[in-house]
Structure 1
């Protein structure tokens, strides 16, 4: 018994929408969650829906051997759920967000007739000076070549007055701000859509007049279909395929639901769409643009209270991070604590005459990466720098390729993706000559070497010189350099070598403890739980009496609480200001608790088709630190939702006597308190 992956993902995105609905969330944070929901949904259609479309084209028997769901039926179900969520989205925006903005004297003017005469003059001048140079308009009909609509771009379309032709014009929100502050009353902050300024000036483009202008948007297939990827230069193939992403097949046309049926059907015919491609929406699309919704100055309470990253109690005043690592393991918690120490570490070893080599895996590289810059400096200082750059990291391929070339030009050894497998591990290895021997220092993390996401994603990172771990990280790099997927690891779990087998062994051990009457439990935190073999193993453990607590942010194909199957399994999901990204696996282990951090979720791809590293925490103090964080997350009764068979995302029930626990705030406050206590 499993939830379907894509339906479970839509349930996750509904949890994001719940944050936009929550009146306890500051207003501009609610607007941000509307933007996140919209951005997530765009990617879902560009990737997952496009994949289902590709499956539809396959031979029926071949498709059955590869896919458990029926694509056509799945697409119908997706469309129904998305429509329900879009209706809820519209209600939240119109009935909650807009009135709440007004309460703060912020007005989003969505009708040109509401503009004052001064604002109309401003809008016309803005149109002629700023907007008109970026517009491309055209006349279309079924008798002429079909115009190409760019992926995720906005357009106005409408029937021209006294004509069978249609007019089409782009809304250039890719080069101009989507929202424009209007001049007006100093006591009111008035904003309008770029769309409205264009709508009011369409007569400059179509002198004959347009009956009504409706907004539309096409989402296109974002997969990079690389023919024969197992031969040739994969880097060059990906570079060549990136251009195809913008011209992929349509997967959704979002249109203004006030558009009449005749025009909708005409567009369907012109652009060669099916009825399942058509999604009615509101007057405006691309709500991801609300990430940049302008705010008035000096208005309090619009955003979350600041939680600036905290200094680490040991690293902040250390003269040398390497010297700290020689004495003790260090555990970092992002974004609660500073990420600065990681580029600082690479900067330090770049200058250290005893350091001979640096090796690192880069999966998603920030555009202005301080990590990559420090690696360039290390190479120029004569260190042997080896960088494994994953060029198949979706939507980050271009940035990864750019930094790969930069490092290569500096003289670093850059190894690009291996065909057929992704390197998703987050590891760094420093080789330092000490007393005529090479000693290894390592960083193992749950999140990317990316200083931007380190301010938004919750992750953990271990800095250690423990030979048990550091020497095995060296073995992982050896496998990567030798293009081998075979090895022996005693302390690390490494996908696809042994992580599935070792995780299964951990579960089996709990099953045996339960059958012997001993305490048996596990608490597992991950982004996604999709692999059916691992789910079956959890079901088996539940039936044996093992108590299982799961914290799953996104996809969860396991169905909890089913009598005789999963009654000993509880699942919660936490959606809050930071994106929960860490993977933590804790097992009772007969009283000697085992705790692992990982780059890997329990998805088939993470266990079988990616290079992942799962690492134990041996230091008892650090282990307890992580346990305390896990327990706070499980106790969350403010942002935690219960995942259930219905997938309706109820908030965790709270009794009147129970104190509110918002895990992310509690974790931050406890780390800050510990820091102040140790001063």
Structure 2
């Protein structure tokens, strides 16, 4: 790898807005890459539907949070510029300009490409008007029996004010006429969320193709309702109906400094969210007449700029429904079963149905950690067989005295919660920080917090002004004549369900200094500790920012002395202007920098005299890249870290985050190999261009397809031969010239 060293004598203002990409537009670029997976014919058919659904769900949250904030700023006449020099109104205008073609492309692709392809594979999403008489009769009976009792039509007139339209609900705007007076009325019918969005027909009424019975035949729920509106408005003539959907501001507004009880405050704010915030988006079909459109805009207090027209079905996030179908193997990704890490395979569970783990003599989980540190990589390696088993083992081990952990998000039927409850019932000291402010998981976390408290667990609700985003567990165990601390430090949430979908890392260790640091972090979270220094850990908001800046500056100093400088970092988002400025300085000094940033990246790579030595890729594939890894060459004394923090102001300054150094040299090499595999990806990797656009890498004649996620799956299955063709290239990506 040739090094390109630039003089730093040339005066350049690295804080100039021209060197920063807009955060919101960068996020839209990420969601565009998600959409591309739906457009890519190499993606299995039902997986393409899944990516369309994810694209839509992502947009819902984007409007509920990011667009809502910008609209509030415009309304409040905020003139503050973003780091890239845009006003709030300019950002809204640019979002609209970029997003509208993407939404049009999404719906056009679904209607014109994917629906016909689904039909070719005997999955028929029909329109009601295309049904046979028998099919219509079945659905009409189904409507009368199953749908009609659930629906409440709402009139809109002087005695019936415009009804409240709930967030993300699908609705029908209906115009009816009194046949006696010829007077027309407006009404709203909500499509109930308690019923499936797509109504299947029985197999005998399904369409057959090539002599084969349909895998699925059905219609959208709203069409079944629309063609039975006479039942809802007896004696009236149905003039027209038009689907619409709205999105509301759903971010919580918390005045924590004034709250005596954080739990009560968040419960109150959640009730406000259920009532709903200000509307921020109206989705309608393009053929909706102006009179209906204007009526909705007026009553919802929206403007034309808030309207998104689509051709076809609204609310494509519901396409996730089809992932549950039993279909031929080629229509989905091959099934993946996470493997048990090799070192944990020696732990034998005698009775899998029992809560109590019966361990082979001398081979308990803690003995494995005492041998040496253990790294687990999800979903390639099993979360249940590692993290869940660790906590469950601690809950039932008679030598365990205490368990402490942070919970940011967890699943609805969490085995971890059950293990913590069992631990408390077994007389152990159990302390859990439940982050009530985890966005869109607040209600779930309140439920778990109350349940844990009811069995005697010490529950802490976080710190005023800070979200606790760290992923840490500590088990305190009595062993012979000493107390030993076992810790898990991870990059992802303690959620068994998302652990099957997100790539994350976790370190198990009982090293004294790391255990002491984790103890100090818990004291910081639960007490009045003002800890300012840590032995090994990087902790936000205490020392994480300064330590990262120091690590980058060390590479700069080494490069300026003529040594090799090298940084490789993987994260979800890169937004922080100070970190970006430091990376620019490092690039100008000749440090070679590779960044793997899944989502938002505000750094502009490849700028002359600024970022020529920086390359940025994003990997979007079957699993959501969620792990954070930070590598620094350090003149041959390499250092590598993993943890919960992205390089964003909120992570560095307004959250409690924990990043740990990797002290075991073999684990450090494993992490370097993971980075190298990702940097060599030419299937799921996209290269960021200086203008903020991305270009997807493609295999060539002399360069076979290399999907980093597929390679890591093969390696987890102990199939090194399948992955070995990338060995040389990935080393060249990770290691600098020596």
TM-score of Structure 1 vs Structure 2, range by shorter chain: over 0.9
Find the counterpart in structure 2 of residue 287 from structure 1. Answer: 316
2:301 is aligned with 1:272: yes
Counterpart in the other structure of 1:145: 161
Provide Cα deviations, 1:287-315, integer angstroms capped at 9, x if missing partner.
11111127764533111001110111001
5 Å matches for 1:238-387?
Answer: 238-246=266-274, 247-293=276-322, 297-318=326-347, 319-340=363-384, 341-387=386-432
How far apart are residue 64 of structure 1 and its match?
A: 6.0
Partner of 2:544: 499
Q: Which range moved further: 183-192 or 193-202? A: 183-192
Deviations 1:251-270 (A, max 9, x none): 11111111122321122112
1:31, distance to aligned residue in structure 2 (A): 0.1
Deviation at 1:570, TM superposition (A): 0.6
Which SS does the other structure have where 2:658 is aligned? Answer: strand
Distance 1:269 1:391, change over 3 A: same
Does residue 482 of the first structure (1) align with residue 527 of the second (2)? yes
1:38 to 28, 37, 56: 56
Distance in 2 separating the partners of 1:80 and 1:537? 32
Between 1:390-399 and 1:141-150, the stretch displaced more is: 141-150
Helix, strand or coil at the partner of 1:645: coil
RMSD: 1.9
Counterpart of 1:463 in structure 2 is: 508
Q: Quick check: 73-82 or 546-555, which moved more?
A: 73-82
Structure 1 segment 113-124 matched on structure 2, within 5 A: 113-124=129-140
Query: In 1, Cα distance between the equivalents of 2:442 and 2:529?
Result: 24
Deviations 1:607-652 (A, max 9, x none): 0111100101111111111111111111110011111233332211
State the shift of 1:655 in Å: 2.9
The secondary structure found in structure 2 opposite 1:502 is: helix
Instruction: Output the CA distance in 1 between the equivalents of 2:531 and 2:654.
Output: 13
For the residues of structure 1 that align with 2:308 and 2:77, how far apart are their CA atoms? 28
Matched, 1:21 2:49: no
Query: What whole-Å deviation, never above 9, does each CA across 1:37-85 have from its counterpart, x for those lacking one?
Result: 0000000000111111222233546x56999642222112112222111
C-alpha deviations, 1:436-483, integer Å up to 9, x for none?
332111000000111111111000001111112121111111111224
Do the aligned residues in 2 keep the contact of 1:220 with 1:252 (CA within 8 Å)? yes
Instruction: Report how far residue 138 of structure 1 moved.
Output: 2.1
- Which residue, 243, 248, 273 being the options, matches 1:215? 243
Hey, what does 2:104 align to over in structure 1? 87
Q: Secondary structure at the match of 1:11?
A: helix
Q: Distance in 2 between matches of 1:229 and 1:191?
A: 53
Give the 3-state SS of the residue equivalent to 1:308 in structure 2. coil
- 1:480-500 per-position Cα deviation (integer Å, ceiling 9, x unaligned): 122445321131100011011
Going from structure 1 to structure 2, the CA distance change for 1:140 and 1:645 (only over 3 Å counts) comes to farther
* C-alpha contact (below 8 Å) 2:604/2:692 kept by paired residues: no
Matching residue of 1:200: 227
Contact in 1 for aligned 2:492/2:626 (Cα 8 Å): yes
Cα offset for 1:227?
3.4
Superposed CA deviations along residues 535-584 of structure 1, whole A, max 9, x for unmatched, are 01111111111111010101101111111111111111001010000000
Secondary structure, in 3 states, of the residue corresponding to 1:386? strand
Q: Deviation at 1:388? A: 0.7
Q: Is the 8 A contact 2:565 2:591 kept in 1?
A: yes
Task: Verify the 8 A CA contact 2:122 2:207 in the aligned structure 1.
Answer: no
Alpha carbons 1:313, 1:675 under 8 Å: kept: no
**1:420 matched to 2:442:** no
Distance 2:256 2:423 in 1: 36
Does 2:601 match 1:556? yes
SS of the residue aligned with 1:148?
coil
- From 115, 118, 133, the equivalent of 2:149 is 133
Contact 1:19 1:30 in 2 (8 A): yes
Equivalent pairs, count: 674
- Contact 1:167 / 1:210 at 8 angstroms: preserved in 2? no
CA contact (8 A) 1:235 1:417 kept: no
Contact 1:526 1:551 in 2 (8 A): yes
Given the two structures, how large is their TM-score scaled by the length of structure 2? 0.88
Task: Call closer, same or farther: CA 1:24–1:137 in 2, change over 3 Å.
Answer: same
Secondary structure of residue in 1 paired with 2:346: coil
* Cα deviations by residue, 1:77-112 (Å, 9 ceiling, x for unpaired): 1122221111110121122211211221222112x2
Distance 1:649 1:99, change over 3 A: farther
CA displacement at 1:353 relative to structure 2? 2.2
1:170 is matched with: 190
Q: Deviations over 1:139-167 (max 9, x none)?
A: 22478512110111110113334444222
| Alpha-carbon distance in structure 2 between the residues aligned to 1:272 and 1:379 | 52
Q: CA separation of 1:379/1:143 partners in 2, compared to 1, >3 Å: closer, same or farther?
A: closer
3-state SS, counterpart of residue 590 of structure 1? helix
Aligned to 2:351: none
Aligned to 1:107: 124
- Aligned pair 1:537/2:574, yes or no? no
Counterparts of 1:398 and 1:272, CA distance in 2: 29
C-alpha change, 1:303 and 1:373, in structure 2 (3 Å) is same
Contact 1:312 1:675 (C-alpha < 8 Å) held by counterparts: no
Offset at residue 244 of structure 1 (A): 1.2
Deviation digits for residues 168-210 of structure 1, max 9, x if unmatched? 11111x1001111122345233221111111111121234233
Matched, 1:155 2:186: no
Task: Describe the shift of the 1:466–1:294 C-alpha distance in structure 2 as closer, same or farther (beyond 3 A).
Answer: closer
SS of alignment partner, residue 217 of structure 1: strand
Aligned pair in 2 of structure 1 residues 596, 295: CA closer, same or farther (>3 Å)? closer
CA gap 1:620/1:66 in 2 versus in 1, 3 angstroms? closer
Structure-to-structure mapping, 1:468-617, within 5 angstroms: 468-617=513-662
Q: Contact 2:491/2:506 (CA < 8 Å) preserved in 1?
A: yes
CA contact (8 A) 2:256 2:262 kept: no
Q: How does 1:4-19 map to 2 (within 5 A)?
A: 4-19=22-37
Asked if the contact 2:197–2:220 (Cα under 8 Å) also holds between the matched residues in 1, the reply is yes
TM-score scaled by length of structure 1: 0.96
